[in-house]
Structure 1
Amino acid sequence: MTWHQNPRLVDLLAGEYALGTLQGGARRRFKKLLARRPDLAEAVARWNERMAPALLALPPQAPAPATWRAIEQRLGFPAPGVRVPWWKRLLQPAPAGALALGLMVGVLLPSLWQAQHGGPDAPASTQLPESYVGVLGLADGRPGLIVSSLRQGRTVDIKRVAAVPVPAGQVLYLWSLDVAGKASPVAPLPQGAFVHLQLGAPSETVFAKAVELAVSVEPEGSSPATPSSAYVYRGLCGKLWRVP
């Protein structure tokens, strides 16, 4: 009798597999057989159900930075400090957190607008107004900021999804990045979870060449021409209007 014909042994190995203590060649062999044996899959499912209450009771644990770097390398993201051409950046997968946030914005904003202006059968003139929208992520891929501004407006709305530490005497500074990755200063960001930034020119002028937005930490009261530190937030900048 082989091990997978012994119900008791199958149950013990399924428990170790679900718990994560089955390692090495034994785990690989179990996983290979799992795809062909419904009884093994059922045993693993039973163990997952048993352990679910205990797992839900555990406090959430943040993955180590090395774990995020390993995930980014396997997904094809460049190593820190490596300059990537703009066209390659557009072809790279978005960080999971920023992608999820982008999907949420893409789904919810039209629905909210339609709810305020007559529902899904309203005429085309009631769609979202022409705007610039940026979804910026943290270095570890989690969603960080949502930045938006009307195309002809002078106000930028910033919603902070996740905060970053800002040392005393320094501020967050918003940058516009063109297709070559060149950063142009926009303005320092006010502190707060939902804040407004006033521009000195219409958004059409400030963000006309932007394909990305980024935020660095700069000395308070300074007017930097280039970022003096690594970006703490960065993400794509979209133009929400029909291009001829």
Structure 2
Amino acid sequence: MNLLSIQHNQQLQHKLAAEYVLGTLRGGARRRFEHWLGQDAGLRQVVRQWESHLLPMAEFAPAAQPSSHVWNAIEKRLQLKPTAQAGKSGNDRWAYWRNLREDLAFWRGLGMVSTTAALIMLSVLLSKQTEQSLPIQNNYVATLSDDKAQPVAVITGDSKRHQLVVKMVTAQHIPADKSLELWAVSKAGTVKSLGLVADNGSIVLPMPDNMNAADIPLLAVTLEPKGGSGNPEKPSGPIIFKGNWLEI
């Protein structure tokens, strides 16, 4: 496989870019892909798209409080146990590590790593299903951004459960007489309301059967009068953020 062979294969470009961002593309394959990135601006753009879709998911990672035996195991493996002499001298070389144990930001970061690991696991499982010709559960994701390209919401779709989960990464301050409404935009340019979304936190909406990325490449949120647009096939307010709907 060479750069020319993937330049005309959009599906392969997205597959390699997703694996690159997730960290599952390793060794020689990763080095070769990074070399191609230096030669192809279009491929770099595909990677940026996957970064914008996947990296905001770290916002979902909860703070993790480790149990005492986990920290003891880390200390033992890294030989971080302080000696009695060090404690008496007042020159405690291990103070940094004990402070790190109490650092909430450190464990929140560890939770983000766990989220990435979960995404990697999902990617591997989907790949295994494809190889074994088993029925594949289609999953989708979209990162919606505002006009300044700042991520505002992450939307995930589960075709098996027929559910859309809309998570606001950045809380929106909506007037009391307004509502946010989510729309699916088809390749033909037609739109369909998917329901109202909250201006903060998460909400679950039903996912239509035809919500595949090939037919519905774009999702958008508009600012509507209280209760939403009166026409489920036509927004009445402006689009305030939008993003590509991708299959993962």
The TM-score with structure 1 as length reference comes to 0.47
The TM-score with structure 2 as length reference comes to 0.47
